[in-house]
């Protein structure tokens, strides 16, 4: 009886493309004839993913959908919706296709008769991923010729589930105007691979998140198994760990604390409270891109000290606290500090410009001097860039134009 119910449920969840309007069913030619390619697909509806509304996703030949905003060569690391991520190569068979259909309320992506590049003899795989406008996700499997746990992950990760992350931009002090992006995975859902067989389906229903609350009261009184906090500066409810983590930290939201759980707005004309609150960062994977390499490391959550970003912001607030009442500096009547400061600023700018011209002339006439060699070694075309090369332990995906 349980098996009959499972088959009936699967038939209801499986989308038959033959019954759809042919003009709305799209077969992506590039994805169907190449290996390790990813193509952007625009959605006709807002798809809520971990509380964030997406209007664009990236479909990859490797049996997964990438949901991140920052495109890079390591799409398999995090921010994915993976019905069956593996080393699929649609180009090895003429019958292999990647097709999708958008009916206005749901997007269905089907990997149809795809083969593994490194083990073609295992047979073809046919499966789907359906994204509903309610946030519900359905993985449906029609043809799985071998146990998923037996698929090799040597040349490509094998994953079934979901993942999301936030991106943090760090400034590199040694090199001006150069920033490093770090991707922190804050949540992952891993499904049991042994239960993925022919004529089975998995239905994933989203849970409430802090981002759904639009006012302070419902936010701090919510009971959704998340520690929701309200940030008056952003007018946003969050647990502190979502895709808006950068804004949450930059606007000192971790330091904006009300011990009595009240929503009274503090005196914003002076300053917010600068109490340092320790928050444990979630366990996850960190993808750091520096220079020509990309590294993938597991971050361990601190338990008793504030995060690096929180500490910097707390110190910044402490150093820039306003002085109420009269100024601590005695002023002489009749002086105009504003005009004096303006004149000094203009003189300083002129001195810097004159110094720059003199240095330029000196370097031009002395190309072998130490200053010339120093600038030559640090010219812009030798600065580090966001490059991801093959051989870093993760497959590289090339991006094609959006559809």
SS (H, E, C) the chain: CHHHHHHHHHHHHCCCHHHCCCCCEEECHHHHHCCCEEEEEEEEEEEEECCEEEEEEEEECCCEEECCCCCCCCCCCCCEEEEEECCECHHHCCCCEEEEEECCCEEEEEEEEECECCEHHHCCEEEEEEEECCCCEEEEEEECCCCHHHCCCCCCCCEEEEEEEEEEEEECCCCCCCEEEEEEEEEEEECCHHHCCCCEEEEECCCCCHHHCCCHHHHHCCCCCCCCEEECCCCEEECCCCCCHHHHHHCCHHHCCCCCCCCCCCCCCCCCCCCCCCCCCCCEEEEEEECCEEEEEEECCCCCCCCHHHHHHHHHHHHCCCCCCCCCCCCCCCCCHHHHHHHHHHHHHHHHHHHHHHHHHHHHHCCCCHHHHHHHHCCHHHCCCCCCCCCCCCCCCEEECCC
pLDDT score at 130? 96
Q: Are strands 236-238 and 229-231 parallel, antiparallel or unpaired?
A: antiparallel
| pTM summary value | 0.65
pLDDT score at 243? 93
pLDDT score at 17? 76
Whether residue 249 contacts residue 313, with contact meaning beta carbons closer than 8 Å, is answered with yes
pLDDT score at 254? 87
pLDDT score at 70? 81
pLDDT score at 68? 92
* Residue-wise burial string across 5-21, b where 16 or more C-beta atoms lie within 10 A, e elsewhere: eeeeebeebbbebeeee
Q: For the chain, which residues score pLDDT lower than 50?
A: 1-5, 259-260, 266-336, 382-392
What is the rounded distance in angstroms from the CA atom of residue 226 to the CA atom of residue 238? 9
What is the rounded distance in angstroms from the CA atom of residue 55 to the CA atom of residue 57? 7
Q: Are strands 229-231 and 200-204 parallel, antiparallel or unpaired?
A: unpaired
Q: What is the pLDDT of residues 47-102, one digit of tens each?
A: 999 999 999 999 999 999 999 988 887 889 999 999 999 999 999 988 899 999 99
């Amino acid at each position: 009886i349980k098996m009959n119910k499972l088959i009936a449920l699967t038939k209801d969840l499986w989308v038959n493309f033959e019954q759809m309007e042919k003009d709305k069913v799209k077969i992506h030619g590039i994805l169907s004839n190449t290996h390790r390619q990813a193509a952007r697909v625009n959605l006709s509806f807002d798809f809520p993913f971990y509380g964030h509304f997406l209007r664009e996703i990236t479909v990859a030949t490797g049996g997964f959908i990438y949901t991140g905003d920052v495109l890079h060569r390591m799409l398999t690391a995090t921010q994915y919706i993976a019905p069956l991520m593996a080393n699929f190569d649609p180009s090895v068979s003429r019958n292999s296709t990647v097709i999708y259909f958008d009916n206005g309320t749901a997007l269905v992506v089907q990997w149809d008769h795809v083969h593994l590049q490194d083990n073609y003899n295992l047979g073809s795989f046919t499966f789907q991923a359906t994204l509903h406008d309610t946030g519900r996700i359905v993985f449906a499997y029609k043809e799985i010729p071998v146990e998923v746990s037996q698929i090799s992950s040597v040349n490509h990760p094998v994953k079934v589930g979901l993942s999301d992350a936030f991106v943090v931009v760090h400034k590199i002090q040694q090199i001006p105007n150069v920033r490093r992006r770090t991707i922190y995975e804050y949540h992952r859902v891993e499904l049991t691979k042994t239960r993925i067989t022919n004529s089975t389906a998995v239905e994933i229903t989203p849970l409430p998140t802090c981002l759904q609350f639009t006012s302070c009261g419902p936010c701090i009184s919510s009971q959704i198994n998340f520690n929701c906090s309200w940030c008056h500066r952003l007018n946003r409810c969050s647990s502190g760990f979502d895709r808006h983590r950068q804004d949450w930290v930059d606007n000192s939201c971790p330091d904006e604390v009300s011990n009595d759980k009240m929503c009274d707005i503090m005196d914003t004309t002076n300053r917010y409270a600068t109490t340092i609150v320790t928050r444990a960062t979630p366990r996850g994977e960190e993808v750091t891109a520096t220079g020509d390499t990309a590294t993938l490391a597991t971050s361990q959550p601190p338990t008793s000290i504030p995060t690096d970003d929180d500490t910097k912001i707390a110190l910044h607030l402490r150093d820039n606290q306003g002085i109420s009442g009269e100024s601590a500096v005695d002023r002489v009547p009749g002086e105009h500090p504003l005009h004096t400061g303006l004149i000094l600023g203009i003189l300083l700018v002129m001195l810097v410009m004159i110094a720059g011209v003199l240095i330029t002339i000196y370097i031009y006439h002395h190309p072998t001097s130490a200053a010339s060699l120093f600038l030559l070694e640090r010219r812009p075309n030798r600065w580090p860039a966001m490059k991801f090369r093959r051989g870093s332990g993760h497959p590289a995906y090339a991006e094609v134009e959006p559809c």
